[in-house]
Amino acid sequence: SVFENEVRKLPLPTCTAFGSAAAPQAIAFAATDRVLSTRDSATVAARFPQSVAASGNVVLRADGLAPTRVSGKRVAALFSGGPAAGGHNVLCGIKKLLGADNTLFGVKGGPKGLLQGKLFEITDADAASILNTGGFDFLGTDRTKIKTAEQFEQVKQTCITHNLDAIVIIGGDDSNTNAALLAEFLYTGIKADGSGVQVLGAPKTIDGDLQVPGLLPISFGFDTATRIYAELAGNILQDTRSSVKYWHFIKLMGRSASHVTLEVALQTKPAVTLISEEVAAKKMSLGAIVEQIANAVVDRYKNKGLKHGVVLVPEGLIEFIPEINALLAELNDVVAHHAEAFTALPAEARPAFVSSHLAAANATLFGSLPAYIVNMLLAERDSHGNLQVSLIPTEQLLSDMVRARLVATAPDVPFSTHHHFFGYEGRCGAPTLFDAAYTWNLGLTVGALILAGKTGYMASVSGLTSGGEPLAIPLTGLFNVERRHGQDEYVIEKALVRTEAAAMQFFVSRRAAWAADDCFASPGPRQLWGPAARQMPMTVALNEGADS
Ligand code: FBP
């Protein structure tokens, strides 16, 4: 189609480190003066001795073109977790850098496909057909966490069967943790000559919570998703200003951090935006949040006669409300301690059973929640132990509670509502120019790391406003140890919205004006050409020090 042809022609800026844009070449890497550490570095070094000894947790940067051409490498790449726009370009970048004298395989169906050895060779024609397309459908993806000894052996078997030299995991924080565990496990003794298999990561997630200050400004997929949500939210802001009768409650995806919601708020300026991290920092109760929204509804009506507005709700909010978090912690314990009795009960009997084991304050809060929330709080967690927040209708909960409050305190204020959840529609759109170029360069960086024989690193491109600089971040330098399900687990801490960060401060200084009257912006569809196409995410630009 015409659209497809035009998208294929999207200019993809290439970091100068790779030489010419038309024929990017392998690069050498050198140590920077940045050594990563966390509070648990000593424990991590003991668990990952080979990786830490090799990298010293030192960040690497490009150091000129590679002195010799490496050939004959066999590399397998997979997607892990939720889709994010630009994943296909990572594959194209790797393929381009590896060239015809190395082989790139795609792993079908995510980490599970790696366990099952579902590999196929990616050809130049494949790469040409997926360049600049959204989605992860070329390979597929899943959320299998590689954790048991048997699973690690299965991966080893796949490496041996396909004579692999390297594995690339394109994923978020949990997936990159898996990459580091595999890098250590496969460090030596896998191939006939006693050598190991390299494992590299690429930073993906629309949630934007995989960031390393000064080294990794954002994960890929965030820009595309937030521009799609901003277009949709902008359309609703324009609609409700036209029909002047509805309050729209919009839940925005982002499992934990509120980066997506903050970005969409900056792009569209709605009346009310909740930021989970601020709710936690200010220890706000559910009642206090409801009061804040209700006050905006009342003030807009009484001061300006406005019966409409938009409320942005981050998907992960519920877990950040301290009293709900405390309830969830006790709930998880109760369900774990009484697992047999709990699972034997029919679904409708479970809330009462759980409630009878809760402390009084938690039981009261639990009892005050509507059934549609209670059922989700008791629902099964995903394979990483996460509450499935995308299935919890927080937007409905808040609007129901605001309505109840208005009925009791301001019955004359009109309040008609609609509810939306923008999530899946943002993950697979054709990548923005930012994501297309970013992922292409991430792919080139991963390819260069493979040819340079590196393992246990996550690729990054920093200096996004000034041409881009390929970097390699040692994954072990990011790890902390967390106690989960009675065991120590190595985790990359999610980068949450920092309430003191420039982007948040920008929002805080303007939100009262956005609440008082209609000040919204409707940014329209994402642009592939022209000045708007070159705009980077506002949160990233502000946090990186761009002018407000
Ligand atoms: P990743 O962290 O794997 O990229 O996934 C992010 C996300 O889109 C979250 O925003 C959302 O909560 C979750 O995936 C939904 O998961 P699923 O696709 O399994 O419904």
Nearest CA to ligand 1 atom 1: 82
pLDDT of residue 547: 44
Tokens of 1: 């189609």
Please report the ipTM that was assigned to this predicted complex. 0.97
In the chain, DSSP finds a helix count (H) and a strand count (E) of: 22, 15
Query: Cα torsion at 323, 329, 331, 335 (round to 10°)?
Result: 180
The mean pLDDT of 487-516, rounded to a whole number, is 94
Mutation to probe ligand 1, out of 144, 206, 381, 493 (largest number of atoms < 8 A from CB): 206
Which is more confidently placed, 395 or 13?
395
Compute how many other C-beta atoms are within 10 angstroms of the C-beta atom of residue 376: 18
DSSP 383-406: TTS---GGGS-HHHHHHHHHHHHH
The mean pLDDT of 398-427, rounded to a whole number, is 97
The mean pLDDT of 362-380, rounded to a whole number, is 89
Nearest ligand 1 atom to the CA of 205 is: 4
CA of 452 to the centre of ligand 1 (A): 32
Residue 548 has pLDDT above 50, yes or no: no
Query: Cα torsion at 366, 367, 368, 371 (round to 10°)?
Result: 90
What's the rounded Cα separation, in Å, for the pair 371 and 376?
9
What's the rounded Cα separation, in Å, for the pair 172 and 129?
25
Closest CA to 270 of 150, 395, 366, 111: 395
273-277, 357-361, 504-508: range with lowest mean pLDDT: 357-361
Residue 42 has pLDDT above 60, yes or no: yes
Q: Per residue in 269-289, pLDDT tens?
A: 999 999 999 999 999 999 999
Q: Per residue in 91-148, pLDDT tens?
A: 999 999 999 999 999 999 999 999 999 999 999 999 999 999 999 999 999 999 999 9
Q: Using the Cα atoms of residue 38, residue 43, residue 47 and residue 49 in order, give the sign of their dihedral.
A: positive
The mean pLDDT of 46-71, rounded to a whole number, is 96
CA of 265 to the centre of ligand 1 (A): 20
In the chain, the amino acid numbered 279 is V
Which is more confidently placed, 385 or 66?
66
Q: Using the Cα atoms of residue 337, residue 321, residue 261 and residue 36 in order, give the sign of their dihedral.
A: negative
Q: Per residue in 176-224, pLDDT tens?
A: 999 999 999 999 999 989 999 999 999 999 999 999 999 999 999 999 9
pLDDT of residue 382: 67
Phi, psi of 127 (to 5 degrees): -60, -45
Nearest CA to ligand 1 atom 5: 82
**Catalytic residue (one of 165, 173, 207, 223):** 207
Q: Per residue in 462-483, pLDDT tens?
A: 987 777 899 999 999 999 998 7
Q: Per residue in 224-233, pLDDT tens?
A: 999 999 999 9
The rounded mean pLDDT for the chain is 93
State yes or no: is 63 an active-site residue.
no
Which bin fits 50, alpha (ψ -120 to 50), beta or left (φ > 0)? alpha
What's the rounded Cα separation, in Å, for the pair 115 and 322?
39
Mutation to probe ligand 1, out of 143, 177, 205, 228 (largest number of atoms < 8 A from CB): 205
- Which residues have CB under 8 Å from 440's CB, separation 6+? 12, 14, 89, 90, 92, 93
What's the rounded Cα separation, in Å, for the pair 131 and 68?
28
What's the rounded Cα separation, in Å, for the pair 219 and 205?
6
pLDDT of residue 503: 96
**Confidence label for 1 from pLDDT (cuts 50, 70 and 90):** very low
H/E element, 372 = helix 371-377
**Confidence label for 391 from pLDDT (cuts 50, 70 and 90):** confident
Q: Per residue in 242-253, pLDDT tens?
A: 999 999 999 999
**Confidence label for 3 from pLDDT (cuts 50, 70 and 90):** low
